[in-house]
A and B are shown apart, each in its own frame.
Chain A
């Protein structure tokens, strides 16, 4: 129960601090997302390969929704490298440093980029 409250608090704080952290950000709801750089495009493809099945479009599924997640990107990278709870860890032989950086760039852009 306390955990549930934390989650609600987190979302609340998130809404207060960031205008862009809606749970759902897919094209029909928010407009089309066009990667602005080739690194973001690469990150988008890698996200689809490694992450999207559990966090589809950053929404909840097998895993929790992460679109709203206000944690700084070094924390998210740490979560990916070391896993946490039941989230699997991805070591460097699976996702290279460069690839993880691209995934981070994509997640940030997906969250904040202005849509049409």
Chain B
């Protein structure tokens, strides 16, 4: 290439990079009109040698699948969706002929975020939007027994999981807030107007720096009423430097465990924002996906990728002052463009946070995952992760839709590669591309033989005036197998 053309290209490239603030966000939920859900496997690309097919359609907010010991397939519907949409959570059996049988119906306390089958019973994580999180045991005849209740997850994030290992049920509790401070963004989620004293709770004693944040007072109708709010405190309550907040269990942003028969919870690890997906590797190690900070609220954090962590007992993983093992304090990588640098909320750290296994795309909402356990499916030992997709611009601005696909992670070197994506010039959900591909994959699960990967696709969500509008009966299950199997 001639020198002059290098020069011209360089000028062009540089000239289109200085306009970030002027650019509009173009997220996957930023669409005006929604088509009826279509299904077309030709719209989805997979690596050579794999195929995808629909298994069940017309579900309302499905979140996870599991199998009983005879290999029957079950799905849960959350019963709650952001946007304050309350339905009944359900456990459904998907019969081979296409019929659906309701096994159990929960109360108005969704979202049911995860399910696992163990020794004749189902174990379900009930999010707890209205009454606090619970872990439920459901027998084959549909009897629901709570094993633990009142988990502190009535905020932004809920109770997630569960996974069963060596006689214990492991589950995740998400934080109340984005980054430690209750603010106006939490009223947009709905809960602050219902529960105005709720806030984050640490698992061990912490010492605060005493940083407070001013906002309008959304709890009064008075104009110009300003309140100041500190970390791990209710809306409108300030903190001072050196203040100690007592740790307790159950606590926010944690992985806890209880015996399979029920009993007191123990802290396994903490310092996560929203530990959503839990899964055991082929070697039996516990891994977790964490939904990272958003660019929203009183203490917005930019540039924070979702994380895959291997769980080491007893450690603190960095929330609210670290992202993926890196300090967010005073770092241009993490402060939102045009907003101030981040200051610490904690005066001391329980430990140096560990290094992540992999860092996913910012706002990809990397959620439920499972490990390939056999060479018959391929990519043995890799983690397959469902990416729900962005909620821009409410979580922050994006230049292209992020997520809306299945990726695979080599857990030994952190390399993430696409596995199932919608075709087209750009990435995005089917509703935006107006085709019949993937919408919002929320979790994946291998069948007991390990040869089929089931994908739970939550369905269509659009965003209007800060409100999420999820579409009922647009959820579905897909199945991915190798050709010839």
B242 within 8 Å of A (CB atoms): no
Within A1-32, the residues touching B (CB, 8 Å) are 3, 6-7, 9-10, 13, 17, 23-24, 26-29, 31-32
A61 touches B333 (CB 8 A): no
What are 7 A-B pairs with beta-carbon distances under 8 A?
A6-B15, A28-B46, A56-B361, A61-B364, A62-B363, A62-B399, A88-B303
Name A10's contact: one of B13, B46, B305, B417 (CB within 8 Å): B13
Name A28's contact: one of B5, B10, B420 (CB within 8 Å): B420
For the complex formed, measure the closest distance between the CB of A30 and the CB atoms of chain B, giving whole angstroms: 9
Name B419's contact: one of A28, A59, A88 (CB within 8 Å): A28
How big is the A interface, by class?
35 or more
How big is the B interface, by class?
35 or more
Complex: A75 Cα to B15 Cα, angstroms: 13
B380 within 8 Å of A (CB atoms): no
Complex: A75 Cα to B16 Cα, angstroms: 14
For the complex formed, measure the closest distance between the CB of B297 and the CB atoms of chain A, giving whole angstroms: 18
Within B300-333, the residues touching A (CB, 8 Å) are 302-303, 305, 331-333
Residues of A within 8 A of B396 (CB): 62
B375 within 8 Å of A (CB atoms): no
- Hey, which bits of chain A sit against chain B, CB under 8 A? 3, 6-7, 9-10, 13, 17, 23-24, 26-29, 31-33, 44-45, 48-49, 52-54, 56-57, 59-65, 69-72, 75, 79, 83-89, 116
Of chain A, the residue at the smallest CB distance from B18 is A85
B400 within 8 Å of A (CB atoms): yes
Within B3-32, the residues touching A (CB, 8 Å) are 5-6, 8-10, 12-22
Complex: A65 Cα to B16 Cα, angstroms: 12
A71 touches B10 (CB 8 A): yes
Within B317-364, the residues touching A (CB, 8 Å) are 331-333, 337, 358-364
Residues of B within 8 A of A56 (CB): 360-361, 364, 402, 416
Residues of A within 8 A of B16 (CB): 3, 6-7, 10
B423 within 8 Å of A (CB atoms): yes
B47 touches A62 (CB 8 A): no
Of chain A, the residue at the smallest CB distance from B390 is A61
B447 within 8 Å of A (CB atoms): no
For the complex formed, measure the closest distance between the CB of A25 and the CB atoms of chain B, giving whole angstroms: 10
Residues of A within 8 A of B13 (CB): 10, 69-71, 75
Residues of A within 8 A of B21 (CB): 86
B9 touches A86 (CB 8 A): no
Given contacts A53-B361, A54-B362, A62-B402, contact A84 B416 (CB under 8 A): no
Complex: A28 Cα to B46 Cα, angstroms: 4
Which of B46, B359, B399 is the most central at the interface, judged by chain A CB atoms within 10 Å of its CB? B399
B425 touches A86 (CB 8 A): no
A48 touches B415 (CB 8 A): yes
B416 touches A60 (CB 8 A): no
Name A52's contact: one of B8, B332, B361, B399 (CB within 8 Å): B361
